[in-house]
Amino acid sequence: MATQPQNGKQRIDPLTRARQQMVERLRSKGINDARTLEAMMAIPRHLFVEEALQTRAYDDHPLPIGFGQTISQPFMVAWMTQLLGVEQHHRVLEIGAGSGYQTAILAYLAKAVYAIERIPELARKAQQRMEQLGFDHVLIKVADGTLGWAEYAPYDGILVAAGSPEIPNPLLDQLVIGGRLVIPVGDDKQQELLRVTKRETENLIEDAGPCVFVKLIGEHGWRE
C-alpha cells in the first residue's frame, strides 16, 4: 500500500515495490500477455506464504508451503497462465491448488474457477485466502485431481500444477472442444510442460519446455 509522506512524494511499501520488480522481471523473461501481467501485479503473493518467508515472496523461486508442497515460482505461474489463455468468460479447472496463489491468478482472469487440492489443510487455507481477496466465484474441494470435477464440466481451460506420468484422460474428457489443458508430464524428477488443445479428432499437443513439479498423486497420476 502506498503512503504519502510529509514532503509530498509518494512512498511505495517494500512488498509492493518487490511485486512491481517481479512483474518487470517476468516481462523481461518473455511474459507478454497484458492480462497475465496485470493479474501477477494485482495478486499479493506474500499473502500465500508463511510470514517468515514474505520478504522472499517475489523472488523467482518456489517456496515451501508445508506437507512437502511448494508455491510455484512466479515465472512458472505466469507462463502456465499465459499458455492457458484465460478469457473473461472462461470457466477454469485447476488441479493442485496448494496455497491458492495460482487459483487467485486464475480467479482474477476468469468467470469461474473450480480447484481441487488433495491435502485438506491446504485446501482450507486456500479457500480462506479466496474469501480474503473477495473472490466469490471460486470453489475448492478436497479430492483426487486426476479425476477432474465432472459436476461442473466442461471447462474452457484446465491447469495442472503437479507433474503427471501421463495426460489423465478424465481431464481431456472435461474440456470443451477448443479448450486447453496445461500440464507437466514426465517422471518424478523432471517433466515437460505440455499444452493440449482439444479437437474433434486429433488433439494438438505443444511442448512448452522443461519444468519440475511435485508429483500428481491419484488414480490417473502417481501412486503414493
The runs of H, that is alpha helices, within the chain are 14-28, 34-42, 74-84, 101-109, 120-132, 169-173
**CA-to-CA distance for 89 and 95, rounded, in angstroms?**
20
Catalytic residue among 28, 72, 99, 164: 72
Rounded to the nearest 5°, which phi and psi values hold at 178? 95, -10
CB crowding 149-173: b at 16 or more within 10 Å, else e: beeebbbbbbbbbbbbbebbebbbe
**CA-to-CA distance for 18 and 31, rounded, in angstroms?**
17
* 92, 86 contact by CB (below 8 A): yes
C-alpha grid cell for residue 78? Answer: 505466469
72 in active site: yes
**CA-to-CA distance for 17 and 21, rounded, in angstroms?**
6
CA distance to 24, 45, 55, 196, per residue, from 11 (Å): 19, 20, 18, 44
* 80, 145 contact by CB (below 8 A): no
- Residues classed as catalytic: 72
